[in-house]
């Protein structure tokens, strides 16, 4: 799962004592384990080795340059959804040809930038978008490859705000429309439409929705072949779950056992498989450390007020997400043997863990059983590496946390804590237009 382990009642990330780290680097603090990042990427690559996928790490899940560089050096390409993410990928030294570019609203400037970078595939979301990218490529006298994002109408059984593979979402075109799409645009001289893309939702905790989606994609590929259209790459998107609770996610081998046999004939005929995982690589690699500021009673309810909140990790309030939270230093009795919603230990107290932001939705957990905590204690919010720092804001003029990457016993600041000056500096001088 990850390298966040308790030893003698003290939480460590790899070999680094997290209380010592927080004392040095301050809180709130995002801490990532290099080993966990690598284990997940390598594990996914090995599980799917028989179909040799290009694993394009989804930058949107956690875009710190040091993490991108690390993953790129281990063989990952990148999945980007904006000019900003493309800029990050290039800054991290990723070759343009190993980048896929998705997203429903690519602007002309972003398209030009992607064409200049020589990206591997544009993932196309609509007819209008195809025509626009093809026209810009023509103007720029560039050639590029494109994958049509198809919507397989599969229910990924995930949160309503993160399901993407159903017909009624804004993403992609449905399977019937795909045929017309290839008929109409399949022979464009500048934008070569030769691949399919899908992404059915996130996080997905079972293999079946992928099997269903792949079967539909392979049928579409066969049908297209019968009409003379050759599909040379199939991008299955991301969405693979992470362990917010212990053993919540099937092992990579379970996905591969079902999917590799389906995909092998396509790959054997020269087809390229692409995956776009984000969360499964980085979620468990990160914890958010936050310090208890106050304990407050509200009627019978106990509030643990900490120095971080929805401004730094919005998932609990945005998606009703569960994050395991536990003090970083506990008595032997309270050392957690597992990470679960319902912890069965003596002496736990129900409380709401809330932040400093002036919103009722500013909470990390509600009615959560925790060991007794006091002002000054350090809490770890687990599985916070994905969709954590990337979604952090400066709401209430709160600086964003620092980020630290741990490698064995070595901790390195990979993004300093923002200062108040960082917040006001861009506004200090007005510029007449
Ligand atoms: C097109 C696309 N690819 C990949 C991902 C990454 O998903 P995950 O982080 O769940 O693997 C997303 C997430 O929204 C996405 O929209």
Task: Identify the residue with better confidence: 103 or 272.
Answer: 272
- State the average pLDDT over residues 389-408: 98
Cα 364 to middle of ligand 1, angstroms? 23
Cα 58 to middle of ligand 1, angstroms? 6
Answer whether residue 433 is part of any domain.
no
Report how far apart, in Å, the C-alpha atoms of 351 and of each of 232, 287, 365, 367 are. 54, 20, 8, 5
Would you say how long the chain is, in residues? 433
Query: Mean pLDDT for the chain?
Result: 95
Answer whether residue 145 is part of any domain.
yes
Q: In angstroms, rounded to a whole number, what is the distance separating the alpha carbons of residues 116 and 82? A: 14
Domain termination residue (choose one: 281, 307, 330)? 281
Does 227 lie in the same domain as 117?
Answer: yes
Q: Which atom of ligand 1 is nearest to the CA of 61?
A: 9
Q: Which residues contact 170 (CB under 8 A, 6 or more apart)?
A: 104
Does 245 lie in the same domain as 323?
Answer: no
Does 255 lie in the same domain as 398?
Answer: no
pLDDT number for residue 165: 52
Of 44, 78, 163, 202, best ligand 1 pocket probe by most atoms within 8 Å of the beta carbon: 202
Q: Encoding tokens for residue 294?
A: 């106050």
- State the average pLDDT over residues 281-297: 98
Protein residues whose CB sits closer than 6 Å to any atom of ligand 1:
58, 60-61, 79, 102, 199, 202-203, 237-240, 276-280, 386
pLDDT number for residue 155: 72
Q: Which residues contact 207 (CB under 8 A, 6 or more apart)?
A: 250, 254, 255, 258, 259
The pLDDT tens digits for 52-69 are 999 999 999 999 999 999
pLDDT number for residue 176: 84
Domain with 20 in it: what CATH number? Answer: 2.40.37.10
pLDDT number for residue 372: 96
Query: Which band of pLDDT confidence, cut at 50, 70 and 90, is reported for residue 142?
Result: very high
- Report the nearest-CA residue for atom 16 of ligand 1: 199
Report how far apart, in Å, the C-alpha atoms of 29 and of each of 24, 76, 288, 401, 408 are. 11, 26, 6, 5, 18
Cα 275 to middle of ligand 1, angstroms? 10
Q: Encoding tokens for residue 105?
A: 């609203």
Does 315 lie in the same domain as 248?
Answer: no
Q: Is the pLDDT of residue 170 over 80?
A: no
Does 296 lie in the same domain as 228?
Answer: no
- State the average pLDDT over residues 188-204: 95
Q: pTM of the prediction?
A: 0.95
SS3 content of the chain, % helix, strand, coil (to 5): 35, 25, 40
- State the average pLDDT over residues 118-144: 97
Positions marked catalytic: 358
Closest to 196 (Cα-Cα) out of 254, 141, 123: 123
Does 250 lie in the same domain as 159?
Answer: yes
Task: Identify the residue with better confidence: 45 or 157.
Answer: 45
431: left (phi over 0), alpha (psi -120 to 50) or beta: beta
Sign of CA dihedral 129, 132, 136, 139: positive
pLDDT number for residue 166: 57
Answer whether residue 412 is part of any domain.
yes
Q: Encoding tokens for residue 340?
A: 């679960």
Q: Which atom of ligand 1 is nearest to the CA of 203?
A: 10
Q: Is the pLDDT of residue 163 over 60?
A: no
Relative to beta strand 402-407, strand 410-415 is antiparallel
Domain with 125 in it: what CATH number? Answer: 3.20.20.10
- Report the nearest-CA residue for atom 12 of ligand 1: 238
The pLDDT tens digits for 307-340 are 999 999 999 999 999 999 999 999 999 999 999 9
Q: Is the pLDDT of residue 164 over 80?
A: no
Q: Which residues contact 186 (CB under 8 A, 6 or more apart)?
A: 193, 229
The pLDDT tens digits for 331-386 are 999 999 999 999 999 999 999 999 999 999 999 999 999 999 999 999 999 999 99
Domain count of the chain?
Answer: 2
Query: Which band of pLDDT confidence, cut at 50, 70 and 90, is reported for residue 248?
Result: very high
Which structural domain range is residue 374 located in? 4-32+285-426
- State the average pLDDT over residues 264-284: 98
Cα 246 to middle of ligand 1, angstroms? 22
Q: Is the pLDDT of residue 197 over 70?
A: yes
Closest to 85 (Cα-Cα) out of 118, 120, 61: 61
Domain termination residue (choose one: 281, 296, 323)? 281
Answer whether residue 39 is part of any domain.
no
Q: Kindly tell me the burial class for residue 423, based on how many C-beta atoms sit within 10 Å of its own C-beta (0-12, 13-18, 19 or more).
A: middle
- Report the nearest-CA residue for atom 10 of ligand 1: 239
Q: Is the pLDDT of residue 51 over 80?
A: yes
Q: Which atom of ligand 1 is nearest to the CA of 162?
A: 14
Answer whether residue 43 is part of any domain.
no
Does 319 lie in the same domain as 261?
Answer: no
Cα 164 to middle of ligand 1, angstroms? 9
Place of tokens 């208890």: 292
């Amino acid at each position: 799962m990850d390298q966040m382990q308790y030893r003698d009642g003290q939480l460590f990330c790899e070999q680094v004592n997290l209380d010592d780290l927080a004392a040095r680097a301050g809180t709130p603090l995002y801490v990532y384990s290099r080993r966990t990042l690598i284990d997940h990427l390598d594990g996914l690559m090995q599980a799917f080795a028989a179909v040799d996928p290009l694993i394009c790490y989804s930058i949107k899940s956690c875009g710190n340059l040091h993490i991108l560089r690390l993953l790129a050096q281990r063989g990952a390409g990148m999945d980007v959804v904006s000019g900003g993410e493309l800029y990050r990928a290039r800054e991290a030294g990723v070759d343009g040809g190993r980048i896929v570019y998705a997203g429903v609203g690519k602007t002309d400037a972003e398209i030009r930038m992607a064409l200049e970078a020589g990206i591997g595939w544009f993932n196309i979301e609509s007819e209008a978008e195809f025509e626009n990218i093809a026209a810009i490529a023509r103007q720029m006298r560039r050639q590029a490859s494109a994958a049509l994002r198809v919507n397989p109408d599969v229910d990924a059984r995930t949160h309503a705000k993160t399901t993407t593979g159903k017909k009624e979402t804004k993403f992609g075109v449905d399977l019937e429309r795909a045929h017309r799409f290839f008929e109409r645009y399949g022979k464009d001289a500048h934008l070569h439409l030769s691949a399919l893309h899908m992404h059915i939702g996130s996080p997905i905790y079972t293999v079946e929705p992928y099997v269903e989606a792949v079967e539909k994609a392979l049928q579409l590929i066969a049908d297209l072949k019968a009409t003379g259209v050759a599909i040379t790459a199939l991008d299955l998107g991301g969405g693979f779950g992470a362990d917010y609770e212990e053993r919540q996610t099937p092992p990579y081998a379970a996905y591969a056992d079902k999917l590799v046999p389906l995909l092998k004939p396509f790959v054997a005929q020269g087809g390229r498989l692409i995956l776009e995982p984000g969360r499964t690589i980085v979620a468990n690699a990160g914890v958010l450390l936050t310090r208890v500021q106050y304990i407050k009673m509200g009627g019978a309810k106990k509030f643990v007020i900490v120095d971080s909140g929805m401004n730094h990790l919005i998932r609990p309030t945005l998606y009703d997400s569960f994050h395991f939270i536990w003090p970083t230093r506990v008595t032997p009795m309270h050392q957690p043997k597992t990470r679960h919603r319902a912890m069965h230990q003596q002496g736990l107290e129900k409380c709401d863990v809330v932040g400093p932001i002036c919103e009722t939705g500013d909470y990390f957990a509600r009615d959560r059983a925790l060991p007794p905590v006091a002002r000054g204690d350090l809490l770890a919010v687990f599985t916070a590496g994905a969709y954590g720092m990337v979604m952090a804001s400066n709401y209430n003029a709160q600086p964003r946390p620092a980020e630290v990457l741990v490698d064995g016993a070595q901790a390195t600041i990979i993004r300093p804590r923002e200062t108040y000056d960082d917040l006001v500096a861009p506004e200090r001088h007005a510029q007449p237009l």
